[in-house]
Structure 1
Amino acid sequence: MNTLLDAVRRHADAHSNGDGVVSTAIPGLLIVRATAPSELMHDVQRPLACLVLQGAKHVSVGSRAFDFAAGDSLLVSADVPTVSQITHASIAQPYYSLVLELDPAVITDLVAQMPAQSAGDPAPVRVDPTEEETLDAALRLMKLLERPASLPVLQAQGVREMHYWLLAGRHGDAIRKLGWPDGHVQRVARAVKLLRRQYAQPIAVETLAAEAGMSPSAFHQHFKAVTSLSPLQFQKQLRLIEARRLMQSQGSNASTAAYAVGYESVPQFTREYGRLFGRPPVADMRAALQRTVG
């Protein structure tokens, strides 16, 4: 673990201007670094595996909550809304995690070559101890980053190896569902992809169901089973999260952000924003500014 932590720390400290997400030259491989506990963070996660190497984090999905720390991995096997918070981090001991976005194409290819597994926990989010083989594969990926000339030749193989060990381990059954092209998870994922592209536009459930290749009633049922939200609730969260980003990163006011993400009523936007984030937009931005100044 310490060897992987050292490699992640070196890369993050060399490529980060502060706390936050640090990209790498390998698509889909990210590092999260924080030197203090965070505020609550709302997001609609894509499928990923998060290996915590130092510090601790809390994540809730609907009524389920998870606390995990160094030595644990968080698996997200579907597009789901999460509320998360880094709970243990300091300047002396920052929070570090390595995140791999899961690739359904790689999973499909690997599953075709691997023996079948018995069904496991169907929940789209789970936490388990990180397995040694996964840590070793992650370390090899980090070492490739230190040898840029090797990336064009070896990075695809390294990403594939890490997917393999995730599939072969405790998370295997949940990840396999991402590799079933005609399975419910993949069908819902096609509709989610459309929602992410067109979140600011009205989209009929019938259009989303057609994208998923399901009847509207079956689509609604499977969408909620996979994501924990109805399609309308899912789109609403995408809009509100994007509006918050516009206000925080671009200085948009509430009405500008509301219209930009598809709202026709600013009072409705303000009510729904307050329900999701706990404060109306103006108060939320004031609190964010105070945290920055402080």
Structure 2
Amino acid sequence: MANTGDLARLAGNIAQTDGDYTTKIPALMVYRRSAATDPMPCIYGLGLGITVQGRKRVTLGDEIFDYGPGQALVTSVDLPVASYVTRADSVEPYLGVRLELDGRVIGQVAAEMDFAAPLKAPASRAMSVVALDDGLLDALTRLLRLLDEPHLIPLIVPLIQQEIVVRLLNGEHGPTLRHLVTAGAPGQHIAKVIAWLKQNFAADIPIDDLAARASMSPSTFRQHFRAVAGMSPLQYLKHLRLQDARQLMLNEDLDAGSAALRVGYESASQFSREYTRLFGAPPLRDIKRLRESA
């Protein structure tokens, strides 16, 4: 595996205490934790997550993705996951970097590349752990070094981001990225439905209507959706609603009943049951715990 020592030093200079750090590069964030954490349900969007020190685990449905130094987690569509740090202490804290990717750039670059192998028909999981090769690690390291030259960021960052996309398309996760940007591929149809669901999850949405949006029969749609997202369409929709309800209660001080209605639940008791199952505590207790930990 590639040596992440330089990347760890750069990330440590940015994140000198525990927290989540935005940077002058809008798509780039740095994270630091000095102890292992509890699982945190959240949404991972299109992007590249790199552990440069410590270890991290992400669960997607029943699947577990562990990654440490020299490895990266690639996510190709918005996926509801549980994320937590599994190895960190005050001497060697967890350090992570996340780079958001642009789907339009991926599509443009993929259209210009000449791939040796044709794209196979079946859609594949939109999340995978890949090894950081020297070229990808070098590009990421140069990206962090640019933070010391802010006047060059608008000129050079887009070039490095494009290089990273080229290297990803040419690597282990390349076929999955291509599935999601290639016109007519099942993965692209599922990616479009997922993007639509993110904007309309509070509506009453029959699965047959989603299948029609993907130009698939309901059974084929369910099969391809699970292949890409790691869960059924109904499970995915439930995660979106519960995640948004949590943010509404936390940020807008809504009570559980109001938040449930806002995200599309008709039954407050069903909302409370499903919320407790996902977040490990009823809404009121969970929000109190989040505020106290913050």
| Range 95-104 or range 270-279, more displaced | 95-104
Give a deviation string over 1:210-245, Cα, whole Å, max 9, x none: 433334443233222211223222111101111122
| Range 62-71 or range 269-278, more displaced | 62-71
Would you identify which runs of 4 or more consecutive aligned residues in structure 1 move more than 4 Å?
118-121
1:223 matched to which residue of 2? 225
Report the CA distance between 1:166 and its aligned residue. 1.8
| Range 26-35 or range 127-136, more displaced | 26-35
Give a deviation string over 1:145-204, Cα, whole Å, max 9, x none: 221211222221110011112222232222222331321222111111111112222223
The answer to whether the 8 Å contact 1:117/1:173 transfers is no
1:164 matched to which residue of 2? 166
The answer to whether the 8 Å contact 1:201/1:262 transfers is yes
The answer to whether the 8 Å contact 1:57/1:68 transfers is yes
Matching of residues 205-220 of structure 1 within 5 Å: 205-220=207-222
Counterpart check, 1:78 vs 2:77: yes
Quick one: distance in 1 between partners of 2:69 and 2:131?
A: 9
| Among 248, 252, 259, the residue aligned to 1:246 | 248
Quick one: distance in 2 between partners of 1:206 and 1:27?
A: 38
| Among 4, 9, 14, the residue aligned to 1:6 | 9
| Among 254, 258, 266, the residue aligned to 1:256 | 258
Residue 123 to residue 190, structure 1, CA distance change in 2 (3 Å): closer
| Range 73-82 or range 54-63, more displaced | 73-82
Quick one: distance in 2 between partners of 1:124 and 1:174?
A: 6
| Range 152-161 or range 36-45, more displaced | 36-45
TM-score normalised according to structure 1 size: 0.87
| Range 281-290 or range 223-232, more displaced | 281-290
2:104 alignment partner AA: A
Report the CA distance between 1:206 and its aligned residue. 4.1
Quick one: distance in 1 between partners of 2:203 and 2:87?
A: 39
The answer to whether the 8 Å contact 1:131/1:169 transfers is no
1:133 matched to which residue of 2? 135
CA RMSD, aligned part only? 2.5
Counterpart check, 1:187 vs 2:189: yes
2:50 matched to which residue of 1? 51
2:159 alignment partner AA: Q
The answer to whether the 8 Å contact 2:77/2:194 transfers is no
Q: Which runs of 5+ in 1 are unaligned?
A: none
The answer to whether the 8 Å contact 1:107/1:178 transfers is no
TM-score normalised according to structure 2 size: 0.87
Q: Which runs of 5+ in 2 are unaligned?
A: none
